[in-house]
Structures are given as structure tokens and as C-alpha cells.
Structure 1
Amino acid sequence: MRVHATVATVALFAVLAGGCARTGVDSGAVPGPVRSGPIAEVHERWESCDAAAPAKTNEWYDNAQDALGLPRLDGTFQPVAALICRNGIQERPGGGTEMTAEEARADDLSALLPALLLPDEAATAQACTADLPGVPWLALVDRDGRWVRPGIPIDSCSKPRTEFRQAYEKLVTVTVKSRVLRQMESDEAATAGCSQSYGDMTWASGGAENVRENTLAPLPVSTSARRCVYDVPVGERGSGKPAGEFRDGGPLSAADWAAIRTEIEASAPGSAVCRTPAAAFAVINLEPGGTVNIEADGCRRILAETGNGPGVYLKSSERLTELVFG
């Protein structure tokens, strides 16, 4: 089992600390959530997150705000541990990453339990920010294995009280169960230094009817260049910003970059307008800055955005297609 502080779940704490989705200020009193009962419901023996939490694992995080309206602890239930159903990101031995559904346990409740017993604050007449609070899917178990989902104490703006956020952040947990939900980044993409998915900026910029200069600024002769090739699923082609999935890539040798650079600089001016979406494209990342986006088919355009000049549309060639895509 892996032991780590709950603070490792960075995304959740970012939301617990500051909220998510909406920003702005609401004026006037903020009505608190209506509690669904006077006392937290006690369930029989705990089985697992898969049995107790929502079937859709994204709701372990997205929809746990219902805890702000659940009945509060009344002091009669004596918990000995907390169980947290959450999503996590783990790295594979090959360097890739995957999203997991995790069941974590915390045995030290010395800070969390007093925070859960704090009263709700009265609604304020002052302005409140309009962010949506993140709330963990949290259960408490007693010595007999019975469990409750406690209501989370709210502040005057109907958000989790600061004392609860701080206590939860300091929990030290043990991951007792974990299963893979989906791949986030393949080992191959990680090894190549490429993103698993990437938007076709040549199509997206042309679709936005951006006007590009026709004069290409000099490309760097000596640079660190990395090629990343992406295939565009049929359902993505022609969308506002087609998302490509990683095919292959990696650093370019000096000789390969020299050949590609020469071909790009010899390319004729191209048009941003295109009606035939590409099935594949490549992104060449240049150091210290700049990218060259190249379509494998479709209108076979180049969108060069160097670090020392404006973006330029050019027309690709058979030779460049061969050099970049093989």
C-alpha cells in the first residue's frame, strides 16, 4: 500500500482552497443549503467505494457537493477512521500516466473530527464570490465497520468552512484499493516528450480566419527540435479545434532538422482557408521557442510560428511530407 498526504491530490486542494468553474461576486445574503435530515444516517458494514459511492467515478469529485446538505454528525457516532473515494493520477514504469479510482483510509482524525463538528455559520449579507466549492466524497467508519457520510460544515457563504478544508488537507492517507480508469499519457508519448493529444492549430487558426503574414522569418539553423505526429479521429476532423492522438515522435537529429528547415524555407506562400481537414498532422517544437505545424494531407498547409516573427501559412510539398511523416 502507498502512504501519502492527501495534499498530493493537487487538483482537489486547488478547488477546496479557491473553488472552480465560476468567478465573480454575488451580492446580498446567500441562503445555506437545506440539510436532508437532523442526524447523519448510519449504514451497515462498509464494503468499498465501488459499492457505496456513485457508479460514475467522476461524481466522486464532481458531485460530492451534496455533502454540504447532508445531516451533520451529532456526537453519538464514534468514528475511528475516514474513507475517501477519489480520483488520482499515477505514473507507469514506462513513464506514461493513467487516471485511477482510489479508496483511501485515514486513521488519525484528531484534526478532522473537531472540524466536522463545527456548526454552520449564519448566512452573510455581505458579498460572496460565486465560485463552486470542491468537496471530497468522505465517509467515517466506527469500530463495528458501520459508516456515515457526514454533512460538511459551511461558512457564511455556504462553502466548506476553512477549518474543515485545512483539516482535510493535513490528512495522511493510505491507498487501500486502486483501479485504472483510463490512460492519460502513453509510455510512447512520454518517452518522445510529446503530449498524448494536441489540437490541430493549422486548422483551428484557419477556421478562425486569422490573417497571417506571407513572409517567413528565418528559422533557427542550430536548435533543439522535437517532432510530434498526431492522427485525427474521424469524429474530430472539421471541428473547431480537432484533437489529434499521439502516433510517434521524438527529438530530431541536426541533419533531419536541417533537411526539414531547408524544405520549409523553400515552400511557397499558402492560404489559411481550407475546406478539407487533415487526417494527421505534425508539430515541430523549436527551442528556445516557436512551433511549425504541418498537415500530412488535406490542404497540406504549414503554419510556422517562430519565436522571432509572425505566424505564416505556407504550402507543403511531397518532399516535406516524406521527411516529416515517413
Structure 2
Amino acid sequence: MRSSWTVLAVALLGMALGGCGGTENGPDMADERAAAQIVDGWTSCAKEAPRAGETLSVPTEGTPLPSGREPTIGRIDAAFTPVAAVICGREIRPGRDGGQEQVATERRAEGIASLLTALRLPDEQADGEVACTAEMVIPPWLALLDDQGRWLRPHLPTDTCDRPRAEVIAALAGPQWTTVDVRIVRQMESGAAVAAGCAQQWKDMVWVETRNGTPGSAGSGNRPAAEPLRLCVYEVPASLQDGERPPGDFVYGGPLPAERQAGVLRALSNRRAVVDCATPATRFAVLRPLDESGPERYVELDGCRRFLVVPPAGGAQLGQGDDTLAALLGPV
């Protein structure tokens, strides 16, 4: 399996918007930095860094130890002799059913002489002449191991923009990383959702809009449209139905048959008064033009059976559906 870390010479893999200023560290700062905490008994990324790569994190964050403390990131103590490096992370890959899944990975390298040389470099000092862009590079979760199985989190020397030095990026791309473990964390998109052209998850926007205010009435501004529509239906877990933005998981969907579309759009053009109701829907439908050019339409398939029309220019309109509309939005 080819490691995604082989492209680290191009980017250190995490990119997030954030401020970027020069470091105030002098050229001898590497010698003054506190030594990294040495932890006994490396086991695996699954145990030592189970959430590595789950969210973007800054390099000063540690990993909780069994005691609840976090190992200090710092310089490599002279008494610690690294013989291997481990990178823990996450990535998205194709799933077995044609969808996508998120996996946690553990990669190991033992030819790390050039990496150690780069990690022992000092932080570069800002001179005020270098223009830094607004992106912040997020380093990988890196650990060094010695021949006793102890490990530590090394500081990654930074350049004048407070990003890992070019030598560090090149060194991380250099060792031959071997994948030693891959664990499926969760499904990102099922094969069924991909085949239907639907996202795996969606928010119940009828609930969101009615909780945050009362949209205008739908009807007069919601004329039947000629553009083909895609139907995506989602189910909200019971434990999340009362939330501010309840997420639904994909159930079924696909292009809406033309004979159904006409009936659906007529139903969405009715002028019935919206019932006074606060029952969360367990299932809701999302209708979007195949060419993404028109309004989005949301329909509660149970509960209050309301619908919401959201034009591209804004101004959501709320309407009242019924059992007939819900039936038209059954499996395609």
C-alpha cells in the first residue's frame, strides 16, 4: 500500500486557515527547548493516539496518557536514541461497496537518520522581511521510538512563518514508511448514496428553519419547474431528533421519475395553512435539481409533514404537506 505521506514534500498534509506569524525563537532555541517527555511501552496508534487525524490540531497538542496527563512535545533528549518513527493519522479511501470510508493508519519507518538530523535543527528566526501567507500547515502526529520500546513526541523545527522547516518536510517524505495497521473508523459515503448521487448525511432544514424563526408561506412563489429533480431521503436517529440541527443518514434516493415529479411540485404549490406542530420528523426528503440550478426543497415525511422551499437567492418559504406528498416521495 502506498503511503500518503510520500507526498509530504509538496505539503505537510494538513492545511487550515489561520494566522501565520514569524516565530520569535532565536537560532539557539532548539537547545533551550524543554526535552520531550519519554513514555514507556509503545503499543500502537490505536492505543497511544486513537484520535490522531480526527480533527486538525496544532503541533503543541499532546496525547492523553492513562493517567490523564499529556506527553510534552519537545526536543530529543541526548539520553534517548531513536531507532524508528511512527506516524498516526486518518485518510479517506474507497469502500468495499463503492462508497468511501475513513480509516485510521499507522505507518512506521526505521531508516530515519535524515529525519533525526532535520528534527534537531533550530527554529528559524523571523527577520520581518519574509511575507507569510494565511495558511497554517498542520504537521502529522509523529512519534520516535527507541530500542526499549519507549517513545516521545518530537518538536518539528519551524521556519520564519512558524511552519515546519523545508528540511523537515523533505525528511518526512524521505524514509520508507511501511503501513503496519489500518482500521476502519466509519463509513463516509455508502455505495448506495454514491449511486443515488446523494450525500451520506444531511441536516433536517425544515426543523432548523422553524426552530430559528418562522419562514414565509410557500405556494405562490413555488411554481412547478421543468428541471429534473433528485430525491434523497434521510433518517434521523431518535437520540438526535430534538437537536438544533438534527442530522439524517441516507436511506434511499435517485432521480425523481417524471410522472412523480409533476405531482410532487403541485403538492408543494398548495396554499394550506401550516399546522401548529412541534413533532420532530424521523425521516425527511431533500429535492434538488440535477443541474444544481434551482431551489432546494425539504419535506418532512412524518411528524408535522411540513415542507420548505429554499430559493438560490434566499427567502425560505414554509408550507404544509400531507400523506399524498409523502407517498410520492417513496423509494424510487
TM-score grouping bracket, smaller chain normalisation: 0.7 to 0.9
Q: 1:43 to 1:206 in 2, by over 3 A?
A: closer
1:31-71 Cα shifts (integer Å, max 9, x gaps): 9898442x785967x653335x2355567974753478322
Q: 1:145 to 1:88 in 2, by over 3 A?
A: farther
Counting matched residue pairs gives 312
User: Does structure 2 retain, via aligned residues, the 8 Å contact 1:217–1:308?
Assistant: no
Deviates more, 1:310-319 or 1:190-199: 310-319
1:3 aligns with 2:2: yes
User: Could you tell me which residue of structure 2 aligns to residue 184 of structure 1?
Assistant: 188
The match for 2:103 among 86, 94, 100 is: 100
Give 2:209's aligned amino acid. Answer: S
After TM superposition, give the deviation of residue 119 of structure 1 in Å: 0.9
Distance 2:272 2:136 in 1: 48
Distance 2:231 2:277 in 1: 24
Q: Secondary structure at the match of 2:60?
A: helix
Q: 1:7 to 1:226 in 2, by over 3 A?
A: farther
User: Could you tell me which residue of structure 2 aligns to residue 301 of structure 1?
Assistant: 306
Give 1:116's aligned amino acid. Answer: L
Q: 1:112 to 1:225 in 2, by over 3 A?
A: farther
1:220 aligns with 2:225: yes
After TM superposition, give the deviation of residue 317 of structure 1 in Å: 2.1
After TM superposition, give the deviation of residue 175 of structure 1 in Å: 2.2
Determine which structure has the larger helix proportion and give its number.
1
Alignment of 1:234-249 (within 5 A): 234-249=238-253
1:257 aligns with 2:252: no
1:118-150 Cα shifts (integer Å, max 9, x gaps): 1123578999999876232223457x6866543
Distance 2:275 2:211 in 1: 8
After TM superposition, give the deviation of residue 184 of structure 1 in Å: 2.1
Work out the percentage of aligned pairs sharing the same amino acid: 30
1:85-104 Cα shifts (integer Å, max 9, x gaps): 11122211312222212112
1:193 aligns with 2:189: no
Unmatched 5+ stretches in structure 1 = none
- Please, what is the CA RMSD of the aligned residues? 4.2
Give 2:304's aligned amino acid. Answer: C
The match for 1:292 among 289, 293, 297 is: 297
Q: Secondary structure at the match of 1:207?
A: helix
Q: Secondary structure at the match of 1:325?
A: coil
Distance 2:271 2:54 in 1: 51
User: Could you tell me which residue of structure 2 aligns to residue 280 of structure 1?
Assistant: 283
Give 1:313's aligned amino acid. Answer: L
Give 2:123's aligned amino acid. Answer: D
User: Does structure 2 retain, via aligned residues, the 8 Å contact 1:73–1:151?
Assistant: no
User: Does structure 1 retain, via aligned residues, the 8 Å contact 2:299–2:308?
Assistant: yes
After TM superposition, give the deviation of residue 168 of structure 1 in Å: 3.4
Q: 1:75 to 1:120 in 2, by over 3 A?
A: farther
Deviates more, 1:185-194 or 1:207-216: 207-216
1:49 aligns with 2:45: yes
